[in-house]
């Protein structure tokens, strides 16, 4: 029995050393039990600095709406800031893997990425984030994959775990200190959870929290942005060191506008911890 437990632990625990100092240990659970993680591959990709780079537009408070609306050219969703005296210690949320359709009039393949992260705004030198990217090809076929990134050091696509458009995922990021964090990527539908214990990461400020759908940049250009089915973020919450909960109430509701002013996606609040991201049809 003891040796069985021992071998389970050994196979469940894989250690990788990333560039520079950042290190990560990954463990995998299936239906709550530790399982062999050796079939999981972390494919290094150039850090994309998912989200929040590019032109930032004005913000306005709409007197008739409870939304605090601002605009971005590359993402839509919800963003909320804590204070340096009360840093963020956890961020969580469920969301569905983007389920895409080709946007007429622009070339395939087309994309969208949904993710949850900390920093990257007020503190733009670093950002810790995890989520999924879906791609839709010319024939309408889709493929999706999960990834995590600690900008600017490393970004990894997680290979070997099934992710399908419409699956319910959750991301749980716990920050122990500015260079140590734990990221849990769960596919609630398929019963697996991969935990990444990260150490020696780029120093976080632990200020901004965000739940985002993104038209990300690759090689300095935005990828073609698909249309998508209503994408819910549920049970979203961030917690601070002092125990404060940050959610959708009082957050910035960010709408994505393209160069000619069309709103391509926007969030609508349901309540303090749930919102939906809607797709412009054009």
Ligand X SMILES: *[C@@H]1O[C@H](CO)[C@@H](O)[C@H](O)[C@H]1NC(C)=O
Q: Give the residue at shortest CB distance from ligand X.
A: 282
Cβ proximity to ligand X, 59 vs 245, nearer residue: 59
Residue 156 Cα distances to 85, 132, 153, 162, 269, angstroms: 31, 11, 10, 16, 31
Burial of 230 per CB tally in 10 Å (0-12, 13-18, 19+): exposed
Phi-psi region of 49 (alpha: psi -120 to 50; beta: other; left: phi over 0): left
List of residues 6+ apart from 119 with CB closer than 8 A = 126, 127, 128, 204, 205, 206, 207, 208
Chain CA centroid to CA 111, Å: 14
The tokens for 100 are: 């895409």
Interacting residues with ligand X (CB under 6 A): 53, 59, 61, 68, 70, 81, 90, 92, 124-125, 172, 174, 250, 252, 258-260, 262, 282
End-to-end CA distance of the chain: 60
Minimum Å gap between C-beta 3 and ligand X is 28
214 is known as an active-site residue? yes
Among 149, 153, 210, 214, the one annotated catalytic:
214
Minimum Å gap between C-beta 1 and ligand X is 27
Sign, CA torsion 156/161/166/168:
negative
Stretch (H or E) spanning 95: strand 88-96
Minimum Å gap between C-beta 51 and ligand X is 11
Minimum Å gap between C-beta 134 and ligand X is 19
Cβ proximity to ligand X, 229 vs 273, nearer residue: 273
Cβ proximity to ligand X, 141 vs 282, nearer residue: 282
Minimum Å gap between C-beta 261 and ligand X is 7
The tokens for 186 are: 């769960």
Minimum Å gap between C-beta 26 and ligand X is 15
The tokens for 213 are: 């759908």
List of residues 6+ apart from 191 with CB closer than 8 A = 30, 31
Cβ proximity to ligand X, 67 vs 167, nearer residue: 67
Cβ proximity to ligand X, 2 vs 32, nearer residue: 32
Cβ proximity to ligand X, 90 vs 142, nearer residue: 90
Q: Catalytic residues, which ones?
A: 214
């Amino acid at each position: 029995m003891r040796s069985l437990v021992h071998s389970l632990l050994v196979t469940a625990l894989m250690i990788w050393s990333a560039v520079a100092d950042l290190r990560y240990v990954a463990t995998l659970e299936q239906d709550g039990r530790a399982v062999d993680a050796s079939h999981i591959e972390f494919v290094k990709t150039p850090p994309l600095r998912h989200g929040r780079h590019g032109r930032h537009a004005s913000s306005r408070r709409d007197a008739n709406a409870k939304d605090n609306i601002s605009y971005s050219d590359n993402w839509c969703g919800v963003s909320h800031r804590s204070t340096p005296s009360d840093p963020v210690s956890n961020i969580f949320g469920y969301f569905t893997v983007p389920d895409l359709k080709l946007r007429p009039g622009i070339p395939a393949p087309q994309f969208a990425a949904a993710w949850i992260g900390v920093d990257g705004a007020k503190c733009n030198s670093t950002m810790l984030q995890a989520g999924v990217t879906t791609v839709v090809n010319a024939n309408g076929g889709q493929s999706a994959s999960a990834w995590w990134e600690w900008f600017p050091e490393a970004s990894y696509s997680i290979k070997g775990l099934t992710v399908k458009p419409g699956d319910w995922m959750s991301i749980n990021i716990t920050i122990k200190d500015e260079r140590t964090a734990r990221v849990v990527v769960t596919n609630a539908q398929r019963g697996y959870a991969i935990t990444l214990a990260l150490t020696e990461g780029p120093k976080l400020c632990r200020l901004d929290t965000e739940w985002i759908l993104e038209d990300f940049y690759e090689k300095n250009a935005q990828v073609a942005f698909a249309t998508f089915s209503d994408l819910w973020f549920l049970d979203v919450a961030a917690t601070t060191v002092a125990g404060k909960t940050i959610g959708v109430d009082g957050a910035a509701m960010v709408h994505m506008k393209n160069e000619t002013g069309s709103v391509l996606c926007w969030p609508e609040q349901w309540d303090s911890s749930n919102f939906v991201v809607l797709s412009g049809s054009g």
